[in-house]
């Protein structure tokens, strides 16, 4: 694509932000680098030759300057409990679409709660959690549903080979734990439930070649916000390979290290989504490399479809609602291997 359109990237110098900037350039967009750390922003601009526009979430005028002339904004800067609302407000003032990569459950709930009516009334487009967690699971669940209008339950099992978290992931986790007062969360009976007991340890039958593995049950991710936002499924449960969960919680786990020319880590993933209705089961599976790197084609594909009018609704919408889920997933075939069996 040779659009030449400007796309502002807030948090452009972060781990995921760098992947997003590279993907935008590869697709013919012109990224505008923005963020709160002026020194890191200048360094990224110097390396890339791109324009840098420092901005603070406490300074609306600086955000307006950062988004000026852009066709859309991608927010890659966590914790999203702090950044999402101010950047969304700036996007609404500028009349441009907003997309973020938030994995924070409560931050995504806030986006739907606070902006749905305003965005729908003005025809604005706001897509939260357009990332590995939240966006990918929602697209897979939507594709698996096929012609079903409702299901009894959805299960999203994450078979990660490991999880070396970024500084941003750790910072967002701290904010989420504080907001929950140390409790864990699950989605059951059509609502979020906060609990103080330990999550169950279960076995999940991943497709070959991974096979059955131990997982942490009710390891709740942003899918419990995105999927129920548009699909009639009262019980949504997510699972995490126990090795990855343990690495994430360990304080001494290092940050991801690049092993190829694209900057990807050696981590691999397999996402197994099962939806059930009565005695019938449908499944969708995706696999690939590096959960942070794969977020870039997910979010940039979303922006490309929004700015070219390939959307199904307006307002605050998750990936599965606003896009044609099977078509979107197939467009990522160079990044994600798919097995869709609706």
- CATH code of 132-290+327-341, in short, is 3.30.360.10
Section 125-140 average pLDDT: 98
Section 305-332 average pLDDT: 98
Other beta carbons within 10 Å of 339: 12
Q: Which CATH class is domain 6-130+295-324?
A: alpha beta
Q: Where along the chain do its domains lie?
A: 6-130+295-324, 132-290+327-341
How confident is the model over 221-277, as pLDDT tens digits? Answer: 999 999 999 999 999 999 999 999 999 999 999 999 999 999 999 999 999 999 999
Are domains 6-130+295-324 and 132-290+327-341 of this chain identical in fold?
A: no
Write the secondary structure of 115-184 as one string of H (helix), E (strand) and C (coil). HHHHHHHHCCEEECCCCHHHHHHHHHHHHHHCCCCECCEEEEEEEECCCCCCHHHHHHHHHHHHHCCCCE
What pTM, to 2 d.p., does this model score? Answer: 0.97
Section 123-128 average pLDDT: 98
Does pLDDT of 1 surpass 70? no
How confident is the model over 35-77, as pLDDT tens digits? Answer: 999 999 999 999 999 999 999 999 999 999 999 999 999 999 9
**What pLDDT does 2 receive?**
54
**What pLDDT does 342 receive?**
57
**What pLDDT does 188 receive?**
97
């Amino acid at each position: 694509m040779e659009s030449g359109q400007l796309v502002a990237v807030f948090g452009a110098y972060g781990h995921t932000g760098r992947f997003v900037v590279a993907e935008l350039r590869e697709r013919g967009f012109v990224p505008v680098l923005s963020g709160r750390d002026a020194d890191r922003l200048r360094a990224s601009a110097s390396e890339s030759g791109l324009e840098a526009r420092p901005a603070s979430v406490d300074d609306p005028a600086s955000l307006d300057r950062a988004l000026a002339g852009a066709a859309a904004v991608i927010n890659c800067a966590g914790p999203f409990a702090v950044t999402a609302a101010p950047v969304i407000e700036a996007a609404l003032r500028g009349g441009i679409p907003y997309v973020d990569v938030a994995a924070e459950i409560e931050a995504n709930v806030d986006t739907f709660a606070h902006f749905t009516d305003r965005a729908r009334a003005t025809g604005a487009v706001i897509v939260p959690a357009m990332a590995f967690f939240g966006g990918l699971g929602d697209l897979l669940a939507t594709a698996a549903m096929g012609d079903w209008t409702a299901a009894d339950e959805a299960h999203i099992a994450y078979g990660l080979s490991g999880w070396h978290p970024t500084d941003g992931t750790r910072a967002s986790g701290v904010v989420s734990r504080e907001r929950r007062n140390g409790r864990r969360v699950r989605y059951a009976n059509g609502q979020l439930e906060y609990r103080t007991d330990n999550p169950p340890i279960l076995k999940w039958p991943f497709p070959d070649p991974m096979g059955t593995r131990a997982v942490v049950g009710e390891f709740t991710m942003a899918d419990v916000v995105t999927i129920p936002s548009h699909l009639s499924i009262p019980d949504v449960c997510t699972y995490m390979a126990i090795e990855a969960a343990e690495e994430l919680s360990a304080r001494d786990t290092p940050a991801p290290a690049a092993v190829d020319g694209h900057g990807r880590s050696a981590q691999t993933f397999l996402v197994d989504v099962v939806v059930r209705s009565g005695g019938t089961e449908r499944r969708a599976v995706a696999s690939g490399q590096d959960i942070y790197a794969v977020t870039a084609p997910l979010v940039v594909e979303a922006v490309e479809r929004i700015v070219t009018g390939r959307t199904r609704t307006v307002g605050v919408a998750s990936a599965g609602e606003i896009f044609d889920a099977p078509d979107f997933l197939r467009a990522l075939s160079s990044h994600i291997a798919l097995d869709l069996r609706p």
